[in-house]
A = this chain, B = another copy of it.
Amino acid sequence: MRRLIFALAAAAFAARLLTPSPRPAHAASLPPIAGFRAADADAERSREAQVAATIRPDTLRRNLRVLTETPHVAGTPADRATAEYVLARLKGWGWNAHLESVPVYLNYPAESKLELIEPQSGPLSTREKGAAWDKDAHDAAAFDGFHGYGAAGEVTAQVIYANYGDVDDIQKLSELGLDPHGKILLVRYGKIFRGLKVRNAERAGAAAVIIYSDPADDGYAKADPYPRGPARPEDSIQRGSVQYLSEGPGDPTTPGWPSREGGRRLKPAEARGIPRIPSLPLSWGEARKILTSLEGPQSPAAWQGGLPLTYHLGPGPAKLHMKVGQDYAVRPIWNVIASLRGRELPDQWVICGNHRDAWTYGAVDPNSGTICMLEMARGICDLMKTGWRPRRTLMLCSWDGEEYGLLGSTEFAEEHAADLTANAVAYLNVDVAVAGHDFRVNGAQALADVIVGAMADVPDPSRAGSVFGVARDRAFADGKTEWARRNRERRWRGEPERPFSFTMPSLGSGSDYTAFEDHLGIASADLRFEGLQGTYHSIYDDFEYLDRVVDPGYAYHATMTDLWSRVALRLAEAEVMPLHFSATAVFALDELQGIGERADDASAGAADSLVLKADLAPAKAAATRLRDRAIAVETEVAISLAEGTLAPERAAAVNAALLGTERALLGDGLPGRAWFGNEIYAPGLNTGYAPVPLPRLGQAVLDKSRAAYAGGAAPIEAALDRAAAAFAKLMTK
């Protein structure tokens, strides 16, 4: 039998590298569903189709209209009203739902004042003008442009332009002889999380920061501006949090522990991870007035933006007077938590989440996701009218305070850490459900197969195939040269070639999966239809924008609802959890190969004392052990499910092991940010949003740190071996 398993294991490994061909949703013979007995697949698909049949454009649209009627920043009465609305809907359909109020420290703007005082003078607007035929875009209830967790302060200083304000940009300024000390840095949005721009400026000694939206990044250079198209108009301001997200999300006064009424709380001055210097967001229409008044050296070529002028660095002659007042307080926010108790395995939780709070109206961000969650919640309860209940417990979470720094989800995860660690199977996040037409999923690799399987069963609204087929075709068009090159390199290395496969990138940060994956080691994913999203965090992210420009007809929302439901239902119903850690292992192997190459590149031409050196072979060996053992178990389970011979005790044992495997990736915490425990998945320390997998090694290469690189492999090897150990125990049975 072991021989057979290993033969099949090899086949399964080959299959891992193959991706399914796009399957029509109604093909005569449908493939099996991972984790299900062959005999149960039809019933599962039938239930999923019943949920899909309940999805209605008009309910999606009506819920959006209600949720986006007024600006609903976290902690405001309008935000509370949206929580009550979601709670009432969920309860009404039959979910066991309640509000969890969390007290968090956060700010509202008291004053956002900016004026150019040299070489000309005049005020710079920190508010949009509105659009004539868009009723929402004029609401006085919307806050002026400001930054969540921004510092208060008054500064008068000359301006230096610093591109995206990332670590390399600040370094480049220094190489060019420009000193940010005491200056106002003007940086553009994009590339990295905005809080890290402020962090970098503060560390460089700047007095203040202006972050503006350059038309090269999300304006007319990308598409026609709203209302003609989806891009950012001249006056549109991107609000947003300036927390130092990649160093730890959540309430900055309760780092690592839950925020409770009367609970332990740092003094604001002790809180790390939030700025000490003031900052403001700005539109390009206003930023242009500053940029046209900058002299000094021409900016490096890559720093040139999309405005019709040659970008110079300054400092000056542009000089600004900036006055920022903040109204900080501990305020309540409201998570809505709902569940349907599992019929067989109530202590295994499949969790779906989406935040609800918004910087203004939040039509796309996040309520495009909220309407999908509500539609899914209604559809599943409709299904339950047939008497069916899911095998495992399903949970829905409507998070609050995400915009400030993933507050609701982080505090929830910290509050319920023990239960989540014991019970959580997976976390499926949808933040922006629909900003365009390109499906994108990031996630824990263990979830890739169940997600890809569902993608292959859902037709894409473009009618060009399934969501999977369209995404794979796009990936192939973008990546075939790279794929050909990688295969050539494999040939040269004597390794087998691989067919083209759709690969799911891992998670960085920027939404509510962060605490689940990075802090608690719960396999998580984030799903969205991507697009330009040029009204992001502005007053124009409103009903009219979504309804007229982003998804008229709500076809993409319907598809997201269908897909999200299917993934959740499969995870909740599967006899054996479809968590495939062979994928995690292959991902780690590929990343180790890539990191070695990037270290080689980073060392090119460097003096020997600066060359990055590490022995990656032990970590590769650990990943190979995990891969081979996981394949053996996955193959054995697949065979016994196909044959209908899986014993209940065996299923229980495998499920128990799978429940703990993602947790096994947690180590002692990453250097300088111990809250991040996952040794495989993390956001880049200096990117914020973007992932830097195998973060000890990946970050060491980015930082060109010899010591971190040399020492980075051992904890990764240990994590992979902890994961492999669970499978080793299963194999001895």
Contacts and interface: CB of A to CB of B under 8 A. Distances in A.
Interface of A: 215, 220-225, 229, 231, 298, 301, 304, 306-310, 476, 480-481, 483-485, 488-489, 492-493, 500, 597, 600-601, 603-605
Contacts of A301: 222
A597 B486 CA distance: 11
Contact of A601 (B304, B484, B492): B484
A223 B298 contact: yes
Nearest to A481: B601
A484 B304 contact: no
A480 B604 contact: yes
Given A225-B310, A480-B605, A484-B601, 20 more contacts: A215-B308, A222-B301, A222-B304, A223-B298, A224-B310, A229-B298, A306-B306, A306-B308, A307-B308, A308-B308, A480-B601, A483-B605, A484-B600, A484-B604, A488-B597, A488-B600, A489-B489, A489-B492, A492-B493, A500-B605
Contacts of A215: 308
A601 B301 CA distance: 30
Nearest to A288: B308
A614 to B, nearest CB: 16
A612 to B, nearest CB: 12
Contacts of A298: 223-224, 229
A94 to B, nearest CB: 46
A304 B304 CA distance: 15
For the complex of A and B, list the 5 residue pairs with the smallest distance between their C-beta atoms, beginning with the closest: A492-B492, A484-B604, A480-B604, A308-B308, A224-B310
B229 A310 contact: yes
A310 B488 contact: no
Contacts of A600: 484, 488
Nearest to A479: B604
Given A229-B310, A489-B492, A492-B493, A221 B604 contact: no
B483 A604 contact: yes
A310 B223 contact: yes
A484 B597 CA distance: 9
Contacts of A307: 308
8 contacts: A220-B310, A221-B310, A231-B310, A306-B308, A484-B600, A484-B601, A484-B605, A492-B493
A317 to B, nearest CB: 15
A600 to B, nearest CB: 5
Nearest to A599: B484
A224 B310 CA distance: 6
A481 B308 contact: no
A212 to B, nearest CB: 15
A231 B484 CA distance: 39
Contacts of A306: 306, 308
A198 B310 CA distance: 31
A521 B304 CA distance: 43
A600 B482 CA distance: 11
Contacts of A603: 484
Given A229-B310, A231-B310, A492-B489, A604 B481 contact: yes
A603 B493 CA distance: 21
A371 to B, nearest CB: 28
A484 B485 CA distance: 15
A207 B164 CA distance: 44
Contacts of A489: 489, 492
A449 to B, nearest CB: 23
Nearest to A484: B604
A223 B303 CA distance: 12
A225 B488 CA distance: 45
A220 B481 contact: no
Contacts of A308: 215, 220, 306-308
Given A310-B231, A489-B489, A492-B492, A221 B601 contact: no
A286 B716 CA distance: 60
Nearest to A596: B488
Nearest to A490: B492
A136 to B, nearest CB: 24
A601 B479 CA distance: 11
Nearest to A492: B492
A309 B220 contact: yes
A499 to B, nearest CB: 10
Contacts of A481: 601, 604
Contacts of A221: 304, 310
Contacts of A500: 605
A331 to B, nearest CB: 41
Nearest to A305: B221
A225 B221 CA distance: 21
A500 B606 CA distance: 12
Contacts of A601: 480-481, 484-485
A486 to B, nearest CB: 10
A215 B476 CA distance: 33
A229 B492 CA distance: 49
A601 to B, nearest CB: 5
Nearest to A228: B310
Nearest to A304: B221
A273 B307 CA distance: 40
Contacts of A225: 310
Nearest to A224: B310
Nearest to A308: B308
A226 to B, nearest CB: 12
A699 to B, nearest CB: 19
A463 B382 CA distance: 79
Contacts of A485: 597, 601
Most buried by B among A224, A308, A309, A601: A308
Nearest to A606: B480
Contacts of A597: 485, 488
A480 B601 CA distance: 8
A224 B312 CA distance: 9
B476 A605 contact: yes
